[in-house]
Structure 1
Amino acid sequence: MPNFASLIADHDAPDFAIGAPGRAWLSYGALRDQAGYVAGALHGFGIGRGDRVAIVLPNGPEMASAFVCVAQAAVTAPLNPGYKQDEYAFYLDDLKARALVVMEGYDGPALAAALGLGIAVIRLHVRPEHAAGAFTLALDGETLDGADTAAPGPDDVALILHTSGTTSRPKIVPLLHSNVVASARNIEASLALTAQDRCMNVMPLFHIHGLIAAVSATLAAGGQVWCAPGFDALKFFTWMEEAAPSWYTAVPTMHQAILSRAPRNAEAIAANPLRFLRSSSASLPPQVFAALVETFNAPVIEGYGMTEATHQMASNPLPPRVQKPGSVGVEAGPQVRIAHEAEPRLITGTGEIVISGPNVTPGYENNDKANADNFFTVDGQRWFRTGDQGQFDADGYLSLTGRLKEIINRGGEKISPLEIDEMLMDHPDVAQVVSFAVPHPKLGEEVGAAIVLSNPATTEADLKTFAETRVAAFKIPKHIVIMDEIPKGATGKMQRIGMAEKLGLTK
């Protein structure tokens, strides 16, 4: 399995690779030159193979290019630009970062954290005449010692990320060059990407979804990735007219925000037809799936991924095969099976989803317990426990019933929060919903739901009456909180775990 550099090695030099609003395109030849320049600069600073370089940059073409280029010389470690100083201090120390890349002129909390830890600071400079994604680097202070200038190989770490840490200390996930290449190729194949495809990226580029699905898979196919400066539903259709994409990928909450603006942008949609649109990182409600198909007159490809799998594990196939709303599709790269939730064995029916394949991380770093809990071997084959519960249908399509830690246990009755979400989304006045567990002194847990309404006249009683006609009594939400906006994580996903506490329902 080749290293990351192979993803951009064979494409024609003049062809476009990276674009952005109001910027000239960066060609594949220029991107390869940029990677060579970055390697030389890092080596000159005393940083090389195996050294961890944290990157804190705004979303956009420089972030995409920095990810691609740094990974070809060292280990790239993107961090959320929205963190506070204490968070940066934790992640930089936990990663054992050797350097931090920030924009020239940056004087924020990441810089303070790096200086406090004695970590080298590298400034990224962009000039108006530069094409999208082109930049130069300068080191603050003295050169470091001991750079390994050899090119990283397939078994070297290319990308390092943390798990979300929703219920425990975040775990370090190292992803090898072979993992990244395998996953990029898997997505390229699933989406039948070619050099004629152009992805408009609105996903944050400190997260596995945007880094692998939007950037790496696109470049693997020789296509173009047009990098928006983040997600903004108000600007989405203006960007669409400038970018002229053939596809985009987003999380469900982003798709819902786009749909809310779609009626007044029908001309932009008609003038820029999409080959398909993709959804991943959280379950897409079937109602939103149907609205997207109707609005864009294009297939919706729902994927299923996670950091430990270098993103994609399953994907709904392209036409003429069937896309099933409510399903995350068929296995799409790694082997996907169902395992017993407590024992190290594969089963049929409903259970924990497990995966095995060349895109799967070799294991969490410095965490023997997590590796013992999350990996097991059967007949010489190593399987990773995803923490998700699900089942396959007769056609081999996988459906999720929820995160095992998010399943609501009401007096022994197990309730899928996804089922409650989908039921409530059938109400014509419900725009968004996230269901979650609320502590109960006798039953253990009760069902709660946070809801955004399109009609403010609808009441909590109306919603409970609606639920009574759709689900058994024990599944009806006992706590309904009507909100203007549901709290979301840094990547746009609604967070079930901790929602009851955020809403003051744990007292």
Structure 2
Amino acid sequence: MTIRTLLDSGADNAVALTAPDRPAMTYAALRRHVDSVGRQLAGNGLGPSDRVAIVLPNGPEMASAFMAVAAYMSAAPLNPAYKESEYAFYLEDLAPKLVIVEAESENPVRAAASALSIPVVEAVVGDNDPAGAFRLFEAEANATPAGADNEALVLHTSGTTSRPKVVPLMQRNIMASARNITASLELTDSDHCLNIMPLFHIHGLIAVLATSMSKGASVCCTGGFNALKFLDQARDEKISWYSGVPTMHQAILLRAKRQADAAKGLGLRLIRSSSASLPPAVFEELNDVFECPVIEAYGMTEAAHQMTSNPLGNGKQKAGFVGIATSPEVCIMDQEGNRLTGDAEGEVCIRGDNVTPGYENNPAANESSFTSGWFRTGDQGFFDGDDYLKITGRLKEIINRGGEKVSPLEVDNVLMEHPAVQQVVTFAVADRMLGEEIGAAVVLADGGELDAAGLRAYAETHLAKFKIPKHIVFLDEIPKGATGKLQRIGLAQKLRLED
């Protein structure tokens, strides 16, 4: 299967894409649109081995542009909020043959592309076009959809501690991941998802969009996440599920708890969480407020998103665990590459059809990241007696306090249980005596009253003394990355806590 053939799953008159205040796009229309865009690109000399950068705002055109480009060549979606210098880096690294932008866009990607002699084309939407319809060029030529071994999507790693690495994903990688997620969530063609994830990120592109399309289901493509509008959008669209990162769920809960009847009235079949660890306290609140299963999954770009997921069955979800393996093989290894058994803690490693063949032009990274065919995720964790995986932290984020290793996730989860705490992220702070000390950035709940001494006193009843944060900073908002994930690495510098 390929991106193009998965689109054949939807019935001709079934809805594929919706958007607020726009006519819906059916599967028949989506297939025509994807093939037309493929011919337009072919008419301008592009083929299956070429890359096309997509710089569009979140919404139906971004969704359909990804599906169309990925069906015929390789899509390189980029964050539309980047600065010109950032675009210059990514475009030079990716070497796309074309950049797609919004009509009349003044995005700085134009200047960056011009400096690199990369053509730019506008996606022009007609007055009465359905959600997702646009035109690039008038000229068309015969086009052949990409094959299973062609590259379909190329993204960069986050690059929080080093130069971002290029991650190519083949058609077969994406198809394998879509199958895995579909099975985990038991999706059918009657499901309708509200997409709140950015579509330049693997989570939204695969877990929401490609997965839904593979079952002939539908997606509402919003202009981006807006916690104030979420309940109204979900009600108006009659959605059956949504997927987000923990910070999004927390923001939704702030409103949903005040409108409990409206939240329960949505009748959601499930809520999915991925891309960062979901605090157990948030898991329980979501479950209580929306009265539906909360499915925490574990994914990363190099795996075309999902690797493990909590099963959907009633009562089979474990708070604080990211579930069982969902088709790719998952094991725990020590530093020397030996597979560990039982509940031993070590590095989470994966292999399977969804895993990238390797980083582009980076033999050093490939050598350190692959061991005997297994990809080393950089995450630390263990399996419990039921084969549920628990992530205990990123190896690069583990705090080394004078030789004592502290998992920031463990501290997060304890502090989150305090009733006055709305959000917390624990991180390392450089220390002259111990090498690293423990810091915590905290956002209080509405009406919450708490000081650093009170939070430390609470922590002391749940944590060993060496795990108690020395540095506690109360903030209105914790800095986040482009996809809404809280950023541990570099937070001490941002908050000027480094010695």
TM-score bracket for the superposition, by shorter chain length:
over 0.9
186, 190, 208: which one pairs with 1:192? 186
2:175 and 2:448 mapped to 1: Cα distance?
48
Query: Is structure 2 residue 336 aligned with structure 1 residue 343?
Result: yes
Q: 2:355 matched to which residue of 1?
A: 360
Provide the rounded CA distance (Å) in 2 between the counterparts of 1:321 and 1:189. 17
Alignment deviations for residues 96-146 of structure 1 (CA, whole Å, 9 cap, x no partner): 11110001101121111111110011110112311111111138xxx99xx
Q: Residue 151 of structure 2 aligns with which residue?
A: 157
Distance in 2, matches of 1:160 and 1:55, equals 11
Aligned residue in 2 for 1:331: 325
Aligned to 1:26: 25
Q: What corresponds to 2:82 in structure 1?
A: 83
Query: What residue is the counterpart of 1:256 in the other structure?
Result: 250
Which residue of structure 2 aligns with residue 375 of structure 1? 370
State the distance in 2 between where 1:263 and 1:439 align: 38
The range that moved more, 412-421 or 127-136, is 127-136
* Aligned with 2:279 (options 282, 285, 291): 285
SS of the residue corresponding to residue 4 of structure 2 reads helix
CA 101–168 in structure 1, closer or farther in 2 if over 3 Å, else same = same
| Contact 2:9/2:213 (<8 A) preserved | no
Q: Is this contact kept in 2: 1:59–1:228, CA < 8 A?
A: yes
For 1:435, what is the secondary structure of its paired residue? strand
Q: What is the deviation of 1:150?
A: 3.6
Query: How much does 1:332 deviate?
Result: 1.0
**1:364 CA displacement:** 0.1
Q: Distance in 1 between matches of 2:238 and 2:114?
A: 42
- Write out aligned runs for 1:15-164 (5 A): 15-138=14-137, 149-164=143-158
Contact map agreement 2:157 2:166 (CA 8 A) in 1: yes
Distance 1:297 1:151 in 2: 43
CA–CA distance in structure 2, aligned partners of residues 109 and 277 of structure 1: 36
Whole-angstrom distance in 2 between the partners of 1:268 and 1:410: 46
Task: Choose which of 419, 428, 446 in structure 1 pairs with 2:419.
Answer: 428
- 2:201 is matched with which residue? 207
CA contact 1:184–1:220 (8 Å) conserved in 2: yes
Shift in Å, 1:386: 0.3
Deviation at 1:33, TM superposition (A): 0.3
Q: Distance in 2 between matches of 1:456 and 1:173?
A: 43
| Distance in 2, Cα, partners of 1:456 & 1:392 | 36
1:49-89 CA deviation, whole Å, 9 max, x = no partner? 11110000000111111000111111100000110000000
Give the Cα separation in 1 of the matches to 2:389 and 2:270: 20
Q: Could you tell me how far apart the structure 2 residues matched to 1:491 and 1:148 are?
A: 37
Q: Give 3-state SS (helix, strand or coil) of 1:72's partner.
A: helix
Say if 2:462 is the partner of 1:467: no
Are 1:390 and 2:381 an aligned pair?
yes
Q: Is the 8 A contact 2:58 2:222 kept in 1?
A: yes
* 1:405 match: secondary structure: coil
User: The residue matched to 1:452 in structure 2 has which SS?
Assistant: strand
Instruction: Say whether residues 1:505 and 2:497 are aligned partners.
Output: yes
TM-score, with structure 1 as normaliser: 0.96
Please give the alpha-carbon distance, in whole angstroms, between the structure 2 residues aligned to 1:485 and 1:105: 34
Q: Is the 8 A contact 2:379 2:394 kept in 1?
A: yes
- For 2:432, the equivalent position in structure 1 comes to 441
Q: Is the 8 A contact 2:53 2:77 kept in 1?
A: yes
Within 1, Cα distance between the matches of 2:259 and 2:49? Answer: 47
Question: Shift of residue 18 of structure 1?
Answer: 0.6
Give the deviation of 1:221 after TM superposition: 1.0
Task: Provide the secondary structure at the position in 2 that maps to 1:68.
Answer: helix
1:419 paired residue number: 410
**8 Å CA contact 1:275, 1:298 repeated in 2:** yes
Match of 1:268 among 253, 262, 272: 262
Structure 2 unaligned segments of length 5 or more: list them.
Answer: none
Q: TM-score, normalised by structure 2?
A: 0.97
CA shift for structure 1 position 468: 1.2
Per-residue deviation at 1:456? 5.0
Shift of 1:238: 1.3
- Structure 1: where are the runs of 5+ without partners? none
Q: Secondary structure at the match of 2:181?
A: helix
Match of 1:303 among 294, 297, 309: 297
Task: Report the secondary structure of 1:287's partner residue.
Answer: helix
Could you tell me which residue of structure 2 aligns to residue 229 of structure 1?
A: 223
Mapped to 2, the partners of 1:51 and 1:391 lie a distance apart of 40
1:482 aligns with 2:474: yes
Partner of 2:487: 495
SS of equivalent residue, structure 2 residue 136: strand
Contact 1:21 1:242 in 2 (8 A): no
Is the CA contact 2:264–2:291 (under 8 Å) kept in the aligned structure 1? Answer: no
1:172 aligns with 2:166: yes
Aligned-pair identity (%): 55
> How far apart, in 2, do the equivalents of 1:256 and 1:248 lie?
14
Judge conservation of contact 1:315–1:329 (CA < 8 Å) in 2: yes
Question: Tell me, what secondary structure is at the counterpart of 1:136?
Answer: coil
Question: Would you say the 8 A contact 1:338–1:353 is kept in 2?
Answer: yes
Look up the equivalent residue of 2:136 and give its one-letter code. Answer: L
Counterpart in the other structure of 1:14: 13
Aligned residue identity for 1:25? A
The one-letter code sitting in structure 2 at the alignment partner of 1:295 is: V
Aligned to 2:441: 450
